[in-house]
Amino acid sequence: MIRKALKGGSVPPYIASRIMIYTYSTTFSVSPLEAYHTPATLVSQMLEIHGEVKRIESEEFNKAKKGR
């Protein structure tokens, strides 16, 4: 079921929230307990910002790679 969620499938909310806590914890180096006590809206917003930063980094990397 976790594999299905990680590949974009539909899963129960409790699985989705655990994956979100795991991702937030590892991305921002906070304990899972601390992440659990962080408001869900903040966790979601921070992960969204992080994802966008990574997309921009990837685009810039690809531009630089093509320009060689």
Instruction: Name residues whose C-beta falls within 8 Å of residue 44's C-beta, 6 or more positions apart in sequence.
Output: 20
Per-residue pLDDT at 10: 82
Per-residue pLDDT at 39: 96
Cα separation of 49 and 32, whole Å?
A: 19
37, two tokens = 């006590």
Instruction: Name residues whose C-beta falls within 8 Å of residue 24's C-beta, 6 or more positions apart in sequence.
Output: 30, 35, 38, 43, 46, 47
Cα separation of 68 and 63, whole Å?
A: 9
Q: Is the pLDDT of residue 37 over 80?
A: yes
Per-residue pLDDT at 1: 74
Mean pLDDT within 21-39: 96
Please state the pTM of the whole predicted model. Answer: 0.79
Ordered by start, the domain boundaries in the chain are 2-66
Per-residue pLDDT at 9: 76
